Amino acid sequence: MSRQGVRPQPLPPGLKVDFNALRAPSGYVAGMGRGAAGFTTRSDIGPSMPAPDVKKDKAGTRAGGLVADADAGADDTKFDAFLGNDAGVLGATGVYDEEDREADNVWDNVEDRMDERRKERRETKLKEELEQFRAENPKIQEQFADLKRKLADVPMEQWEAIPDIGDYTVKKQKHLDRFTPVPDSLLAGAAARDATATAIDAHGPGGLETPMGGGITTDLTAMGAGRNTVVQLKLDKISDSVSGQTVVDPKGYLTDLKSVTLKSDAEISDIKKARLLLKSVINTNPRHAPGWIAAARLEEVAGKLQQASGLPWHACSRTAGCCELCPSNEDVWLEAARLQTAENAKAILARGVAALPDSVKLWMQAARLEQSDDAKKRVLLRALERIPQSVRLWKAVVEISEEDDARVLLSRAVECCPQHVELWLALARLEAYENARKVLNKARQAVPTSAEVWITASKLEEANGQAAMPDKIIPRGIKSLATNGVVIDRDWWLKEAEASEKSQPPMAATCRAIVKEVVGHGVEEQDRKRTWMADAEECMRRGSVETARAIYAHALSVFPGKKSIWRRAAQLEKAAGSRESLDALLRKAVQYCPQAEVLWLMAAKEKWLSGDVAGARSVLEEAFVRNPDSEEIWLAAFKVEFENAELDRARLILAKAREHPPASTARVWMKSAMVEREAGAAGAERELLQEGIRRFPYFWKLHIMLGQLEERLGNADAARLAYAAGIKRCLDCIPLWVSAARLEERAGNVAKARALLEQARLKNPKNAQLWLAAVRTELRAQNQKAGEALMAKALQDCPDSGPLWAETINMAPRPQRKSRSVDALKKCNDDPHVVAAVAALFWLDRKVDKARSWFNRAVTLNPDVGDFWASYLKFETQFGSPEQQEGVVKRFLAAEPHHGERWQRVAKDAACAHQKSEVVLKRVVLDLDKEL
């Protein structure tokens, strides 16, 4: 029902309600549903009336117990965030408390639970509907799937027998083969337009008519043919003339055409504009030489050489009707000569030097145009008559003269140019010893600020056997230069010292004298040692050995008690000096630094390496006197005797060391056990090791040596106890854990070895060596899958471990090794183990050059690993030359490696106890094929 309570009557069929004619309901506001507020005008409410008192009305309503009207419901203070303005049945309370909120939360949880119970059924139903839809409406690809699978069995003959598709278009196609008749006039006009006239009609328009009775008919085709014949004859005559002067080269004609530069319209336009501008410059200022030169070069670029050569000549010439333009500019004369032939250029330069007799450039250009040295010399001598003070001319004439003539010319040159040092030095080189000294003395007086004169004088004295004179000349020279106000540049003088060393023959005395005088110039006292060491290292990098030796000598004279300087000087002598010089240096070093153990050990080692065992013993005896409590010296004395198979002497030395409390260290007890092991005395070795463990319980090498002793004797239980005792005291010692696990593995207890390594990883987390041992244990037990799984965990635990990545590359199947190597290089690009593994991969693929480069990189990154040198040598043995193999061995001997899994296994074997490093290297090469 409507608001008035009356049901509206239905309309007859076909009639529509005119809503615009209906009366709006009371209280209707247009757009209120869209948020419009509406407004009221005076015409809506009628005449003005006093507004009722709202407060009194509300108060009266409350007092009467009546329900508030609509205005009360619109009060903003009664708005509820949950229910809005319409409070509903809860409007009587007016408060939404915690109990209401808790009730709502309970109902929300109930609804969520019911939704979860229906979720599985709803999803199952949706899945069934989707499958049914796909079954009823399959894709085209799925409809032909079975047919496409059968296409794999179709033979090639049937494929080739498939006919080409034809044109089966049902629609009609347009036919374009329709013909339209052409009028005869159109055909005749086209024929007349394309025709070629071969004769001239005398009576036709534009023809000739002569007084003769009949007209003359001219055949134009014949005239063209005759013209071509005449041109051909002329070309043949020119190219095959009797005089032999061929103007046209028939064979190179096309080549000449290719050399012609075709210019675009833009370039031609630019050339025209530039020509116009330069013409304006020349006309405005005819004496402006750069304008003439620019105009000439423009014409040269444009290809008009005749005009280009005429412009500079016009600029520097005198004509009857013209005044002198710019003959005093030498650039104009040089440009004019350049654009002319050689003969014309000589004539132009002759007029040029007549106009400008003091121009050195013109004289030098005139000399260059001459062909013979005599002609050049004549021109230069004539130039020197006019310009005797030109050093450039003197140098040019001396260069093309004989030695005697050059000496005479230089004698005259130093008179004309006394301030030029190069002329004095050149004259001194050409003179004999006595005359050269006189020349240099005159040069010193003429140019007192020149350091080159003093250095040359020092070299002169040294070259003539006066080795002591440089030590006198250089200090005098530096003092004289300082007196004359010359600033002593330390770097420049050091470079001159290096140049003196590298000259032929080398001037070592001059080099040392220069370094001695200037190396300390301008250096702060507190920075002297650091600066001098840096200078010496720089000189060594540049190959200036004598300069570096002189710097070290001066530094040692200032700091004789610094053992670091003595060590660096000794390393220099070892690398670039002789054994005698090294021995003399070390002798002097131990005198100045008697407490420096390293210097005594270096001296003894050099004696021993040279084969002088007695000399090494004497050095160590003297070292004992100076350093009686030094462990290093005791062990060095033991090593000398042990390496020379003097076991009794070595045992005696170690016994004395054990009795001397300051020298009785763990290493001394370990070396004592090694002597007994070498002698085969297992009982004495066990006693020494047990006593050493009692004294030094945390020295892990004693524990591992005791375990290895029991293993060699076959006492597995005793070895197991020794390893367990060592692990108990040294939980962080990885070799002990690995040795104990290998013992269990060799005994057949792979599970126990696996458990030991796992326990070790718990005690020492993130240790790559333990992970690697575990992986290799699984691989030796033929558990490839377990090894790969362990390797994956290891790389997660130690992602930057080079040995782990190298083992990963070696474990991978051959097709996957390349990708594994790429991953390894991304993680640790400069790790030598990864580099060596990649080199082995290249070696396996027969990429010789790349493998050699990567092996070289590996031994450069870490030369102390003997395994890399063994792989490198084996590679060169297979693919390299004898010279390359020898080069690897020399580098190996210089590196003296001491580490590497295979290297230590072979080097510590009793069979290699006293072998040379080269022999051990070859044994490691043979060991490369064995399993680790």
Q: What is the pLDDT of residues 131-185, one digit of tens each?
A: 888 888 888 777 777 777 778 888 888 887 887 666 555 555 555 555 567 677 7
> The tokens of 879 are what?
């693919």
User: Running DSSP on this structure, what letter comes out for residue 865?
Assistant: B
Residue 89 pLDDT class (50, 70, 90 cuts): very low
Helices (H), 339-372: 342-355, 360-369
- Which among 881, 880, 855, 882 has a CA at the least distance from the CA of 869? 855
CA–CA distance from 669 to each of 631, 679, 680, 681, 725 (Å)?
A: 11, 15, 17, 15, 18
Dist CA 360 CA 367 (whole Å): 11
Domain shared by 270 and 401, yes or no: yes
pLDDT in tens, 4-34: 444 556 666 666 667 677 777 776 777 766 6
> Domain boundary at 504, 527, 559, which?
559
Q: Which of 120-124, 310-314, 598-602, 759-763 has the lowest mean pLDDT?
A: 310-314
Cα–Cα distance, 536 to 542 (Å, whole number): 10
Residue matched to tokens 């002698």: 679
Contact residues for 556 (Cβ-Cβ < 8 A; gap 6+): 562, 565, 566, 569, 592
- Contact residues for 759 (Cβ-Cβ < 8 A; gap 6+): none
**Average confidence score pLDDT of the chain:** 81
Q: Nearest to residue 610, comparing CAs of 582, 633, 570?
A: 582
Q: Say if residues 390 and 360 touch (Cβ distance below 8 Å).
A: yes
Q: Would you say residue 873 lies in a domain?
A: yes
Are residues 408 and 338 part of one domain? yes
User: Looking at the domain assignment, is residue 756 inside a domain?
Assistant: no
Contacts of 793 (CB under 8 A, 6+ apart): 771
> What is the DSSP secondary-structure string of 655-714?
HHHHHSGGG--HHHHHHHHHHHHHHT-HHHHHHHHHHHHHH-TT-HHHHHHHHHHHHHHT
Say if 760 falls within a structural domain.
no
* Token output for 703: 């524990």
Residue 269 sits in the same domain as residue 405: yes
Q: Is the pLDDT of residue 841 over 80?
A: yes
- Are 503 and 417 members of one domain? no
Question: Do 342 and 392 share a structural domain?
Answer: yes
Nearest to 908 by CA among 893, 892, 924: 924
Q: Is residue 840 part of a domain?
A: no
CB distance 572 to 548 below 8 Å: yes
The one-letter code for the residue type at 132 is Q
Longest dimension (CA), the chain: 154
pLDDT of residue 802: 94
Q: Cis check for the bond before 327: say yes or no (omega within 30 of 0).
A: no
Residue 644 identity: N
SS3 track for 83-134: CECCCHHHHHCCCCCHHHHHHHHHHHHHHHHHHHHHHHHHHHHHHHHHHHHH
Instruction: Pick the range with the lowest mean pLDDT from 171-180, 664-673, 784-793.
Output: 171-180
Do 382 and 454 fall within a single domain?
Answer: no
521 and 406 housed in the same domain: no
Q: State the average pLDDT over residues 388-398.
A: 89
Q: Dihedral of CA 241/245/247/250: which sign?
A: positive
pLDDT at 718 over 80: yes
pLDDT band at residue 35 using 50, 70 and 90 as cut-offs: low
pLDDT at 612: 87
Residue 861 banded pLDDT, cuts 50, 70, 90: very high
Q: Does 280 share its domain with 413?
A: yes
Evaluate whether 534 touches 519 at the Cβ level (below 8 Å). Answer: no
Give residue 774's pLDDT band: very low, low, confident or very high (50, 70, 90).
very high
By mean pLDDT, which of 198-207, 329-338, 843-852 is the weakest? Answer: 198-207
Tell me how far apart the alpha carbons of residues 686 and 670 are, in angstroms, rounded to a whole number: 11
What is the spatial distance between Cα 229 and Cα 210, in angstroms, rounded to a whole number? Answer: 29
219: which strand partners? 199
Three-class SS state of 387: coil
Question: Is-contact 586 570, C-beta < 8 A?
Answer: yes
Report CA 716 to chain centroid distance, whole Å. 56
Identify which of 75-89, 114-128, 229-243 has the greatest average pLDDT: 114-128
pLDDT score for 235: 62
Residues 410 and 553 in one domain: no
Chain length of the chain = 932
**Nearest in space to 377 (alpha carbons), one of 393, 358, 361, 362:** 393
Residue 912 has pLDDT above 60, yes or no: yes
Instruction: Tell me how many domains the chain contains.
Output: 3
pLDDT value at residue 405: 87
Taking only the tens place, the pLDDT of each residue in 458-511 is 999 999 888 889 999 999 999 999 999 888 899 999 999 999 999 888 999 999
Helices (H), 503-562: 508-518, 528-541, 545-558
Last residue of a domain, one of 501, 525, 559: 559
Q: For residues 510 and 114, give the distance between their C-alpha atoms in angstroms, rounded to a whole number.
A: 104
Mean pLDDT of 292-307: 76
Q: What percent of the chain has pLDDT over 90?
A: 39
Region 685-693: what's the mean pLDDT? Answer: 94
Element (H or E) spanning 773, and its range? helix 768-780
3-state secondary structure of 80: strand
Please check the confidence at residue 233 and state whether its pLDDT lies above 70: no
- Mean pLDDT for 97-122 is 85
- Out of 79-83, 531-535, 691-695, 795-799, pick the least confident: 79-83
Tell me whether residue 574 is in a domain. no
Domain end: 499, 528, 559, which one? 559
Contact present, 295 and 278 (Cβ < 8 Å): yes
Rounded Cα distance between 562 and 555, Å, is 9
Is there a single domain that holds both residue 455 and residue 326?
no
pLDDT of residue 38: 58
Residue 289 and residue 364 in one domain: yes
pLDDT at residue 708, rounded to an integer: 93
Which tens digits make up the pLDDT trace of 540-594?
A: 999 999 999 999 999 999 999 999 999 999 999 988 888 889 999 999 999 999 9
Q: Report the Cα 714 to chain-centroid distance in Å.
A: 57
Q: Is residue 293 part of a domain?
A: yes
Query: Residue 333's pLDDT is what?
Result: 86
Q: Domain range spanning residue 508?
A: 450-472+486-559
Percent of the residues in the chain that have a pLDDT greater than 70, as a whole number = 79
Does some domain include residue 368? yes
Distance CA 442, CA 632 (A): 62
Enter the tokens of residue 485: 């106000």
Record the tokens describing residue 661, joined without a space: 């409390």
Distance CA 131, CA 90 (A): 49
Q: Are residues 378 and 301 in the same domain?
A: yes
Number of neighbouring beta carbons within 10 Å of residue 903: 23
> Which stretch of 19-28, 128-137, 723-732, 880-889 has the lowest confidence by average pLDDT?
19-28
Neighbouring residues of 750: CB distance < 8 A, sequence distance ≥ 6: 744, 777, 781
Q: How would DSSP label each residue in 428-468?
A: HHHS-HHHHHHHHHHHHHH-TT-HHHHHHHHHHHHHTT-TT
Tokens of 181: 């008749």
Average pLDDT over residues 813-826: 92
pLDDT at position 194 is 58
Looking at residue 212, what is its pLDDT?
44
- Which stretches does DSSP call E strand in 739-882? none
Going by C-alpha positions, the residue among 368, 301, 303, 373 that lies closest to residue 337 is: 368
Which residues sit opposite 80 in a β-bridge? 84
**Which candidate, 306, 307, 348, 318, places its Cα nearest to that of 330?**
348
85 inside domain: no
Distance CA(638)–CA(672), nearest Å, equals 9
**Would the CA dihedral through 188, 189, 192, 194 be positive or negative?**
negative
